[in-house]
Amino acid sequence: MDDFISIKGISKKYGNTYIIKDMSMSIPSGRIIGLLGDNGIGKTTFLRLLGNLQQPDEGEIRIEQTPVSQMNVKDIVYLLEPANIFDWMKVKDSIAFYRDFYEDFDAEKALRICREFGLDSNVRISRLSKGSKEKVCLMLAFSRNAKLYLMDEPLGGIDPTLKKNIKMFILENIPADATIIMATHLLKDLEVLLDQIIIMGAGKIIYVDTDEIRETRNQSIDEYYSEVMENAADN
Amino acid sequence: MDFRTNIPIYVQIATSIKEQIMSGSLHFGDKLPSVREYSLIYEVSALTIQRAISQLDLEGIIQSKKGIGSFVLGDCKDNLESRMIGQQVDEFVEKMKKMGLSDEFIISKVKESLSNG
């Protein structure tokens, strides 16, 4: 049992509606995983449960044997949405704040990423465009050296140049043995990078290796995903 | 590198490294770039690179030494060439047999073709 993340029978309800029902899976370490599914299907809820930002109604999630509920949130990177950063701060203040709060935060790396992104660290975050605020969130998340990175549509409003280089950016800035779980709609842009995918909302949870899909079905991940979702809609 | 998205990525990387050996840009005994370096060169995960490396190791094209790195095996250019030739011959023979031709007939046809130059 050297699974990195072990999920046993978790359920989450809002009112009387199950968002996640009796979900179990084991995730090894060092994987880059795409979390796929239609909007509103529970991807954000799943990520929040993994990040201990919400608790399941039933079941348990363990990371390296430790229940997530007992873990220090500082061991997990949860990529913030721009709405959740302190935007009265200057970019350099947010770096200082993160450096003080997270032991694994690398301030030098943060400044390097600012330069790469063309972010002026003396500017107040509230004055930045939506795209630049997203860059601040990416910069803060990727300046940490953690074992687990959870990202909810990290590249929503990102500009085309960064989108083109995003694979390189992720690979350069994350430890090789880290696990990344990333909800994304940019399947065509990212599929070569993904080791595995989790599909929610296709009747059952599908968790599969991307190269296995290519090997056994001669399909791209994009084609496979479309087929799975069409079949689910027909049933 | 532009990948075909319906063929396993690790297979395409293993093929790319084989081609570099065949073309002479990687030589006998050369140390291959590290997993991390390859990951940035091909823009794929470390896991995908590890799979490509294990595949090449399994095929006897490279040798991986834990903690040291991977090396192009001394005899592997010949190895690769003879394997690729072997593959072509196997395919040819299989096709002929499917057509219901006898071994003698196939051999005589190959000889005929060779003597015609």
Counted residue by residue, chain B has a size of 117
- For the residues B96-103, what does the mean pLDDT come to? 89
User: For chain A, what is the mean pLDDT?
Assistant: 91
Which chain B residue's Cα is nearest to A178? B46
Tens digits of per-residue pLDDT, A92-142? 999 999 999 999 999 999 999 999 999 999 999 999 988 899 899 999 999
Which chain B residue's Cα is nearest to A194? B45
* Per-residue pLDDT, A158: 73
Selected residue with higher pLDDT from A130 and A74: A130
- For the residues A3-11, what does the mean pLDDT come to? 95
ipTM here: 0.88
Contact between chains at A176 and B8 (C-beta distance less than 8 A): no
Chain B contact present for A189, CB below 8 A: no
Domains of chain A: 5-234 (3.40.50.300)
| Residues 6+ away with beta carbon under 8 Å from A218 | B6, B7
* Per-residue pLDDT, B75: 61
* Per-residue pLDDT, B33: 96
Cβ(A139)–Cβ(A107) below 8 Å? no
The alpha-carbon gap from A219 to the nearest alpha carbon of chain B, in Å, equals 4
Tens digits of per-residue pLDDT, B26-82? 888 899 999 999 999 999 999 999 999 999 999 888 999 888 999 998 665 666 677
* Per-residue pLDDT, A1: 47
The H or E element containing residue B70 is strand B69-72
* Per-residue pLDDT, A50: 95
Distance CA(B84)–CA(B78), nearest Å, equals: 10
Burial class (CB in 10 A: 0-12, 13-18, 19+), A231: exposed
What residues of A are in contact with residue B41 (Cβ under 8 Å)?
none
Predicted TM-score (pTM) of the model is: 0.85
How much of chain B is helix, strand and coil, in % rounded to 5?
Answer: 60, 10, 30
The lowest-confidence range among A59-68, A139-148, A219-228, B95-104 is B95-104
What residues of B are in contact with residue A177 (Cβ under 8 Å)?
46
Under the banding of pLDDT at 50, 70 and 90, the label for residue B22 is confident
Q: b vs e for B49-88, b when ≥16 Cβ sit within 10 Å of the residue's Cβ?
A: bbbbbebbeeeebbeeeeeeebbbbeebbeebeeeeeeee
The lowest-confidence range among A5-19, A80-94, B5-19 is A80-94
Tens digits of per-residue pLDDT, A168-209? 999 999 988 899 999 998 898 899 999 999 999 888 899 999
Which chain B residue's Cα is nearest to A176? B46
Percent of chain A at pLDDT exceeding 70: 99
What residues of B are in contact with residue A223 (Cβ under 8 Å)?
6
| Residues 6+ away with beta carbon under 8 Å from A129 | none
Residue boundaries of the structural domains of chain B = 9-74, 77-115
Dihedrals φ, ψ of A62, to 5°? -120, 140
- Between chain A and chain B, the number of residue pairs with CB atoms below 8 A apart is 54
What residues of B are in contact with residue A195 (Cβ under 8 Å)?
45, 47-48
Class of B9-74 in CATH? mainly alpha
